[in-house]
Chains A and B, each alone.
Chain A
């Protein structure tokens, strides 16, 4: 496609802009559809957990329910409270959704299918996704609502703390694979995924990553920022209509991003299931398209995170911080040392 566009548009800058626009549009459409699908999936998973049917009226098997909901949110009044700081209030959903979209750039969806093969991919994702806290703080602060303010302050404490564990659990894989680029990390798993060949340190890192990233994206049982039953919605109490829908969409995109990162780093991303030197077996596995591998793994992790939400009650704020500072952080620190030792001694397969 690049060559075809090169012939059509001789100007290099024009070419770059056209390519960016095309990628952007494709990505946005894909992500909106993805958010729709995740919304539908969440309802079905919830219904599955709660011995009920879930949406089954609008469209075949209720698939269009989420479209109907989006339409409803679209036609609702984009209400801004009188006492709110209007500029920040309207800016906040934009910031949250932008950070969610930015984080998806270096993720490889299939073999050689990546928007931006940046050589510091892991670093980029962890730094961009931590910017979401600014949007949440902004939303909570500018709403001029006490519940929102408490929610925003909680999010500050929560996201900043759990950032550390996420970083440390990613670093253990970076040490093992010796690269920050997501593509290199995937390539390094050609003879087996890290979770299989990395022994216990990688398994620990994987579990910590799942827990910490659930907290990072404010999903139950770590949804203290929203906490409907305590703070009546927390930072997004005052939001309605499309602005609220943007928070919702950002939540689903974030869910997808962290699951995709977990799938890429620990489960080999688009890399098929390879076992050491069993060439025949590996060839059979190669017949399954790499995109199916990627999405299969990602949705498996999404499903796990959704199960958390519908099984566990919420933690209290001090318990949440205890969990991070007293358990996860020390464990991940020791874990990084173990992984380093393993990498130096070459103990992994």
Chain B
């Protein structure tokens, strides 16, 4: 499916989604509440069939957090980037995608550890890299640490 077709499909699927085509792939920005149903459709619909979640991360834009999901279909070989905007930076929450792609488990643990995004219905949400009692989320832009050195 070409980018234009994907764009059409996404508009039909979720009229509130916005697009950003600066990068290599089609970027679709959706509200975080809509994530799970949209992703389920993307995974299960025969003509979309995004079975491969190859990158999952988060970007801190200071006033909001942006979850970024890179999806690819091994059968149709098209790629799409879904971005879910989380406006609540104090207590960010989003649905876990573990039920759709098992690879999300560790990736979401990592995002929870470094950005503090809580994943609902995650089987085993824990701090993957840092200690359980670590204060703060290091990849947030407002993270402060006594050991940090200004370069």
Q: Judge A-B direct contact (beta carbons within 8 Å).
A: no
